[in-house]
Structure 1
Amino acid sequence: MTPLIATLGVLGVSASGPLIAGTLAGGSVTALAIAFWRNALAAVVMAAPVAVREPSQFQRLGRREYLWSILAGVALAFHFVTFIYALTLTSVAATTALVCLQSGWIAVFALLRGRRLPAAVLVGLGLSFAGVAAITGLDLGGSHEAVLGDLLALAGGVLAALYTMAGGRARQTMSTGTYTTVCYGVCAVVVAVLALLSGQRLGGFSPSGWAGIVAITVAAQLVGHTSFNHLVATLSPLVVSMIILLEIPGAAILAAVFLHEVLPAGTYAGLVGILAGLAVVVLGQRRLRRERNLPELGAD
């Protein structure tokens, strides 16, 4: 079941960048509106079955669950802000590559917490990042605008790492439905406040603009993010973030199939590198847990 959920998650987030860029190109939808509606709508959709089947789940949540869910929601809100604005300043390829480097930031945070990184993690990260470089060439923009976009995308990767790690802590004792409802709801509230402060409208868009918002919500949020939020209950944040690296070749392949874009020359080689790196990390962590009975990197 896990491979299927991971595949759905990769397909969902792979559609995110192209869908957002296309929706913004229409000119009627604001950046913060996309971030607001994808989370507000997803929170309602995820809350509905919980409210029908077992509404008492929300009443049973304690301070710890709310704390980690709120932290994840705030990190997700600012992740979306930086990611979406980066898409308006630099290329989709550069933005996606930099944001998807969240696995590297999770490793850095582990080091800052005094954790020793197993050799398998370092080798796996190296293979995966080499795969990313093979696909994108890490072709960062040369103009001041593009450089700002790259920096925003880099910040988006840091925030994505915080969101994934906080979600991993929350999901230890929360169901997917309750966690995503709280997390997405908090994210929507934070983005709404930012929109109010910046004067960005959240409505009054063209039919094509609303269609783009719905497509982003279904593909990227409900299928993509929710799949990964389900996986962080059983996989470490590092492994989940490395699976998300597959968004880079996934987005390129989807663009080639549906938009008839030319695949980057290194797409398939990069895909092999990312998969090899992921396999090394997963097998290395399993071996380490068996030998030392230790939790996975990024988990408690």
Structure 2
Amino acid sequence: MDPGTAGAVAVALLAISSSGPLIAYAAAPALAVAFWRNAGATVLLTPVSLIRRRAELVGLFARAGRRTGWYAVLAGVALAAHFAAWTPSTKLTSVAASTALVTSQPVWQGLIALGQGRRLSALSWLGIGLAVAGAVLTTGADLGGGSGRAVLGDVLALLGGMAAAVYTAFGERVRSTASTTTYTTVCYGVCSVLLLAVCLAGGVRLTGFNPATWLAILALVFGPQLLGHSLLNYALQRISATTISVLILLETPGAALIAWLWLGQTPRTAALPGLLLLMAGVAVVVLGNARTPRRPAPVSAPPETAPLRK
């Protein structure tokens, strides 16, 4: 890795690692935080798409590209489900456990690929087994500690990881023909509308927060939502998606460290073996998927892409 790429990856990892701690810190309902971070990103991306990508944006829903447009919409639905599950989990369980469990996304990605007819390598199956065992140990540690809230948070984080895998699967299809800017504008916009509807239907408060909370929400928009995603895409031009996917696992210790230094959260000692096993399993799945032969890709398809970050 050249120094510029290494610096970009380091900043991206710091940005995405701050996501869990910022959500946990914000004195606002979790769903409100999820809505505002997506709405803020949509507001910033829409003018860029309309000015620089208008033809592509319109073509996404024209007759020839309508299927691609619907994939972008479905990706937004899955992203809304991801945020609706994962964001509350950061307030119910520790940031470390929530972040580790949601980064199980490649495991579910592998199972989705299996359902699509792709064979998984023995290494992938080994990783899936390790990751599932780690998730069970982590959740069991919280259950043994007598914390029903923590167990609920663990389950929601796992559901968030599953939804993120569906989101990435749809996004992969869109990105074969559409730019990142166009795709994320549609995806974040759909996600924002759905989260707004859920908030309004559930009577979730969307305003009246203190200045520190609004600053945390702005940090989520510019940090994990925009900066982290953009820099990882920049790095993909120079290093493989497999390397990026493994490096993303550093989000878990990064988030745990930020939560410890900033919020005073110390991960439960009993949960640490499970968290480490989970991360090891995900890394093995990523490496196993990289070694699995892929179906021939269309000529117009771009190089392999890393999971789209939250």
The amino acid across from 2:221 in the alignment is T
Give the TM-score taking structure 1 as reference length. Answer: 0.78
Q: C-alpha offsets along residues 250-298 of structure 1, whole Å, 9 cap, x if unaligned?
A: 212444566687789879x88995796377347524xx46xx8679799
* Structure-1 residue corresponding to 2:301: none
Shift of 1:116: 1.1
* Structure-2 residue corresponding to 1:78: 81
Shift of 1:219: 1.2
Please tell me whether the aligned partners of residues 123 and 280 of structure 1 are also in contact (alpha carbons under 8 angstroms).
no
* Gap change, CA 1:52 and 1:74, over 3 Å in 2: same
- Secondary structure of the 1:140 match is helix
Residues 222-241 of structure 1 aligned to structure 2 (within 5 Å) = 222-227=226-231
User: Distance in 2 between the 1:43 and 1:284 partners?
Assistant: 36
Shift of 1:53: 2.8
Give the TM-score taking structure 2 as reference length. Answer: 0.76
Larger mean Cα displacement after TM superposition, 203-212 or 185-194: 203-212
* Structure-2 residue corresponding to 1:114: 117
Which of 140, 143, 158 in structure 1 is aligned with 2:142? 140
State the aligned residue count: 289
User: Distance in 1 between the 2:83 and 2:191 partners?
Assistant: 9
* Structure-2 residue corresponding to 1:192: 196
Please tell me whether the aligned partners of residues 168 and 236 of structure 1 are also in contact (alpha carbons under 8 angstroms).
no
Shift of 1:234: 11
* Structure-2 residue corresponding to 1:150: 154
The amino acid across from 2:33 in the alignment is I
The amino acid across from 2:159 in the alignment is A
Shift of 1:230: 7.4
User: Distance in 2 between the 1:264 and 1:208 partners?
Assistant: 28
Give the percent of matched residue pairs that are identical in Structure 1 and Structure 2. 43
Larger mean Cα displacement after TM superposition, 275-284 or 147-156: 275-284
User: Distance in 1 between the 2:181 and 2:297 partners?
Assistant: 28
- Secondary structure of the 1:13 match is helix
The amino acid across from 1:19 in the alignment is L
Residues 147-296 of structure 1 aligned to structure 2 (within 5 Å) = 147-227=151-231, 242-255=246-259, 273=280, 277=284, 280-281=287-288, 284-285=291-292, 288=293
The amino acid across from 2:40 in the alignment is L
* Gap change, CA 1:270 and 1:9, over 3 Å in 2: farther
* Gap change, CA 1:248 and 1:131, over 3 Å in 2: farther
Shift of 1:93: 1.8
Shift of 1:114: 2.8
CA-based RMSD: 4.0
Shift of 1:69: 1.0
User: Distance in 1 between the 2:7 and 2:178 partners?
Assistant: 21
